Structure formats: structure tokens, C-alpha cells
């Protein structure tokens, strides 16, 4: 339902938290001032009839849709101080989480679903309409980003309720800590962005430890949980360690990739040289073998045999004669050398 197939780039969390979640309540049962809340109920009832045929839980569908309509109105009314692009990312996240993931809708994806929501003003008897402020800020949210948004949403919901003193309880603080620990376990795909988000959250924890110290009868019991068993220091250590681990992993992957490319190029170069050398060697052997075959054929099966025989015999006699003369000369030299060594001089044989 989150249009994952259309995802083309990494989701950007910049500017969403806490700006787009402050001063707005997502509670379905919370009292909403103003007359537009009822108008959104009517619009969402029409929208429900268009995108789903399931009548079960119709009340919950309309309630969640109504809050989405009120949130779009909130962005539109405060666009001079909010970042509509960032807040529209949060709107699309809530549309997925509260409507598309819970009910079978036939609107054809997140963007189409929002378009159908905004179209309901045409058949409405009220002046109120579902704002189209996010029409030009559609963004796909992948599965990893959805999980991170969910964790961050729970964390900042706790931060919002901590603004009221009576909500600074140990039970709420346990939930707050659990959501932070779950956020740490998310995919490495967004570790660099998670570092920035976790740094902001840890800074908030440090503010609670300092600011709630004076309320020893109530809030301090909750803030003490942040330092219990060195919890906050462990968060800092893990944050810095995970970021370094991620950096080292990326560097190692780059180095490995470069090494593999170099090895492949070297192997290809050697293979080309081997092929060239092999071709030369095969050619030389083939030429020599061909010459030998030609000589053999000429010698064995042509008149050249009779032409070669007398000349071969003549050459052989000449070599034998020269060899005999060489042997006689060598013998004479040996005899003279022997007599010279004995200081006996004789006339050489003729």
C-alpha cells in the first residue's frame, strides 16, 4: 500500500520531527474545537463509500480520515511557519498507517487515494473541503522508512505528552525508552539520518534529567530511569559505535569493489596476452610441421630421391676422408707432445 515499487531514491526525514508533530493531537477521541470537525466526518463518510465496500469498522475509518483532513487543514493554516513539503511526508505516512494498511481500499495507491479524498468536496453540502496542499509534495515511503517513521512518531508522541506534568510518569518513561531502543535496531540503510534524529532525542533526554530534578515527588522518578543502569550513556556509546561501524563498512565495500575491478582487469590483460602468445606458438609449430611433411614427400615419392642419393654418398665420403685426416693429425700431435714432455726431441713423421 506504500507504493514501494515506485521508490526511486532514499527517503529524507529532514524537518519532519518534531516540527510537523508539535501542537497537533492524533487521538481519535480527542475533542476538536470548531465546526469543521463535523464537516470532515461527512466528507470522509462519502470517501469511505467510494474506496471500500466493507461496512465493518466504518466508524473507525471515518474517524481516522477525519483526523487526516484536520491535519491537512493544520498544515494549510500554518504554512507560513511550517515546511509543507516535510509535513506532507508525515501526512502520507499517516494515510498509509491509519487507512491503507488497515482497510481494503480500491483507490490504487497512496497518491490516488489522496486525490479521491480531495474530490469529495464536489458532492459536499458544506464549504469545508479536504485541502490539496500536499498534492505537489507526494513521496513514496519504503518499508524501512515506514518503520522508522512509526518509531519516531511514538517517541515524539511521548515527548508531547511529557509537556504536561501529570504525564511524566514512570510507565510513560518506560514506553519512551522502549521506543528509542527499537529505533536503534532499524536498517543500516538510514543510519546516517538516524544518527541525527537520535542525537536530537538524546539531547531531549538530557534536558529531562536536568529540568525534572527539582520535582523530587513526581517527575524525578521518571527522569531517574534515563540514568538507571547507565542507560543514557549506553545510548551515546552505541550511537557513536554504530555510526563508526557503518562508515567502516562502507569504506570496506568500496575498497573491495575497487580491488575486484583491478583484479578483473589484470586477469583480462593476461588472458589476452596468453591468447596472443598461444596463437604465435601454434603458428610456428604448424609451419615447421608443414615443411617437414613437404620434405618427406619430396624425398620419398618424387624423382628427387634419385637426384639426392649420389650427392648424399659423395658428401658422406668427403666427410669420412676429412674425419680420417683429422684423426691422423690429432695422433701426430699427441706423439709430439709426449716426447716434448720427456725432453726428447725427434723428427716428426711424414
Domain boundary among 192, 208, 231: 231
Q: Are residues 200 and 331 in the same domain?
A: no
Q: Is the Cβ–Cβ distance between 95 and 65 less than 8 Å?
A: no
Would 331 be classed as within a structural domain? yes
State the total domains in the chain.
2
As a whole number of angstroms, the distance between CA 170 and CA 224 comes to 9
As a whole number of angstroms, the distance between CA 63 and CA 60 comes to 5
Statement: residue 329 has pLDDT above 60 = no
Q: Is the Cβ–Cβ distance between 36 and 131 less than 8 Å?
A: no
Q: Are residues 224 and 328 in the same domain?
A: no
Q: Are residues 40 and 133 in the same domain?
A: yes
pLDDT tens, position by position, 160-216: 999 999 999 999 999 999 999 999 988 778 888 999 999 999 999 999 999 999 999
Per-residue pLDDT, averaged over 35-50, amounts to 84
Strand spans (E) along 186-245: none
Query: Which residue matches cell numbers 582487469?
Result: 265
Q: Are residues 165 and 65 in the same domain?
A: yes
Would 241 be classed as within a structural domain? no
Would 225 be classed as within a structural domain? yes
Domain region containing 311: 307-341
As a whole number of angstroms, the distance between CA 85 and CA 269 comes to 52
Q: Are residues 214 and 314 in the same domain?
A: no
Q: By three-state DSSP, how is residue 233 classified?
A: helix
Statement: residue 1 has pLDDT above 50 = no
Q: Are residues 322 and 179 in the same domain?
A: no
Count CB-CB contacts under 10 A for residue 85: 15
Q: Is the Cβ–Cβ distance between 89 and 16 less than 8 Å?
A: yes
Statement: residue 34 has pLDDT above 80 = no
CA 210 to centroid of chain Cα atoms: 40
pLDDT at residue 108, rounded to an integer: 86
Q: Are residues 77 and 165 in the same domain?
A: yes
Amino acid at each position: 500500500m506504500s507504493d514501494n515499487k515506485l521508490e526511486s531514491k532514499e527517503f529524507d526525514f529532514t524537518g519532519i520531527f518534531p516540527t510537523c508533530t508539535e501542537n497537533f493531537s492524533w487521538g481519535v477521541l480527542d475533542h476538536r474545537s470548531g465546526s469543521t470537525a463535523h464537516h470532515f466526518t461527512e466528507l470522509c463518510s462519502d470517501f469511505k463509500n467510494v474506496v471500500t465496500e466493507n461496512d465493518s469498522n466504518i466508524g473507525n475509518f471515518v474517524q481516522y480520515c477525519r483526523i487526516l483532513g484536520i491535519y491537512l487543514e493544520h498544515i494549510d493554516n500554518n504554512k507560513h511557519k511550517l515546511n509543507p513539503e516535510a509535513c506532507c511526508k508525515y501526512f502520507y505516512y499517516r494515510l498509509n498507517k491509519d487507512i491503507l494498511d488497515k482497510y481494503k481500499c480500491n483507490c490504487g495507491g497512496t497518491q490516488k487515494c489522496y486525490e479521491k479524498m480531495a474530490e469529495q468536496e464536489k458532492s459536499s453540502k458544506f464549504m469545508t473541503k479536504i485541502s490539496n496542499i500536499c498534492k505537489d509534495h507526494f513521496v513514496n515511503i519504503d518499508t524501512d522508512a515506514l518503520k522508522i517513521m512509526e518509531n519516531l512518531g511514538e517517541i515524539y508522541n511521548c515527548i508531547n505528552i511529557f509537556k504536561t506534568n501529570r504525564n511524566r510518569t514512570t510507565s510513560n518513561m518506560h514506553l519512551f525508552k522502549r521506543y528509542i531502543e527499537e529505533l536503534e535496531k532499524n536498517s543500516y540503510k538510514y543510519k546516517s539520518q538516524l544518527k541525527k534524529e537520535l542525537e536530537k532525542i538524546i539531547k531531549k533526554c538530557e534536558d529531562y534529567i536536568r529540568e525534572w530534578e527539582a520535582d523530587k515527588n513526581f517527575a524525578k522518578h521518571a527522569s531517574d530511569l534515563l540514568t538507571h543502569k547507565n542507560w543514557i550513556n549506553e545510548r551515546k556509546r552505541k550511537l557513536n559505535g554504530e555510526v563508526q561501524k557503518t562508515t567502516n563498512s562502507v569504506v570496506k565495500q568500496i575498497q573491495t569493489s575497487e580491488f575486484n575491478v583491478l583484479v578483473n582487469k589484470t586477469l583480462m590483460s593476461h588472458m589476452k596476452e596468453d591468447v596472443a602468445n598461444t596463437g604465435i606458438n601454434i603458428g610456428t609449430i604448424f609451419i615447421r610441421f608443414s615443411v617437414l611433411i613437404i620434405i618427406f614427400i619430396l624425398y620419398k615419392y618424387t624423382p628427387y630421391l634419385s637426384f639426392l642419393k649420389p650427392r648424399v654418398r659423395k658428401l658422406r665420403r668427403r666427410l669420412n676422408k676429412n674425419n680420417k685426416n683429422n684423426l691422423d693429425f690429432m695422433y701426430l700431435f699427441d706423439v709430439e707432445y709426449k716426447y716434448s714432455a720427456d725432453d726428447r726431441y725427434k723428427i716428426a713423421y711424414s
